[in-house]
Amino acid sequence: MKFQPHVVPEVGAKEQQPKDDSFSPPSNQTDQMSIVEGLRGLYADVRHQPSFSKKCQRSLHLSWTACTEIVRITAAIPYAWRAARIHKQHSRKKLSSHYDDNNNSIDDDDVLLLPAVPYGSHKRQVADIWLPPRSLSESNEDANNEGGAGKNRPMCLFIHGGVWSSGEAWHYAPMARCLAQHGIITAVMTYRLFPETGAKGQAADVCAALAWCASQVAQTHKGDAENIALVGHSAGAHLCALALCAKAASLSNLVDDDSILKKASRVQPRRFVSLNGVFDIPSHYEYERRRGVESLSTMKRAMGDSHEAMAALSPSLILRGESKCADADSLSGRRTTRLFSRALNKDKKDKDKDKDTMAPSSIAARFPEETYFLTALGDTTVPFVESVQMHGALQEAGAPHSELLLYPAPNDHGSLVLAWPGGAKHRFGDDNDLAPWSRDLLDIIRHK
């Protein structure tokens, strides 16, 4: 099984201009699919309990957990309404009436959204592109290296979370609009979801979208292809890190020549930014099991439904196989690196499987120039220790640069991507209403 999408997308495919009458209200289809998968996991968990009393106890516990999750989702309705309104407002604008021949906004103070631009052939292989206002080009030519006249704008490719089985681009409209208002060309991609594909296919989608951003989006909208920030939240951060590991492995001749990773291996983001990411899948599965939510989560199934498969697709374990202090006899040592290689190339001959897979180059050394881990100390969905350990693994393995930013607040998992301005129009330079992590993310992306 090769590490590639079902249909290899063509980098540089023509963008489809949105029509004014083509917009429909955001769909919750993927969220419904995630609920269905969670219910399937719940049913399987209860059915495998050894006795009737155990089945009843487990059913009560999982029902309570499900009700807690429903309450959390209900509390997010005001944000969802605001995000949908922002997305709808910008989606209805015509490209011809808001942008000139040089891709500058005619509306000086407003951003433009190009919704659902395809980067591949699958219906989920699309991205929303948020373009900065023209006023930034004229009044901020030398500020923060943002897209002034004669200069290309910094770019951000954002990958959403959602337990590898849900998520839509419109969910992140407030954040994407704010980034664009600060002069950053922002692409919010969606990818194929579990159960249609697993984490390997999703990471390949990230590689394809990154190559598309560096060529098509940068060329069409005056973006800087050498100044792309790859930003992922939660499961999206895992897919970013997995994609970077796989891309580095492809440069080490660990994947087949016709793999999508080979085709995209020359495209590298300047920065990787993780927001409350998960990187040690077996460890996080044990954490979910202690919380009693492992059957509701699709994480294990998206990885391959075995401990070995989870370890093979854990970026922090892959990198520990590169560090000098790794335990060669454990799944966090050399064996994990070999498992990762096998996961990418299941059709390799047996005699090739046990060789020193990382020679001659190091995965960590091929990571982006800068890596940042932003994480909330109060996050109980993905504990901050995940980011701490991944940061340490990169440092031990010799990555170019890794920085860890810890925030005492917020106390929930989603605020790093959801707590962005969405009321009155946020203008460039007005950062007083931004949370500390929002200001840090802007500074990281804009820095050159």
| Positive or negative torsion for Cα 142, 143, 149, 151 | positive
pLDDT tens for each residue of 334-367: 455 556 666 665 544 444 444 444 432 478 888 9
The structure's pTM equals 0.79
Closest to 206 in 3D by CA, of 251, 160, 153, 159: 159
Confidence (pLDDT) at 75: 76
Can you give the residue ranges of every domain in the chain? 76-446
Q: Please determine, looking at this structure, whether the domain spanning 76-446 carries the CATH number 3.30.70.360.
A: no
Higher pLDDT, 425 or 114: 114
Confidence (pLDDT) at 329: 36
Confidence (pLDDT) at 106: 53
Mean pLDDT of 260-272: 73
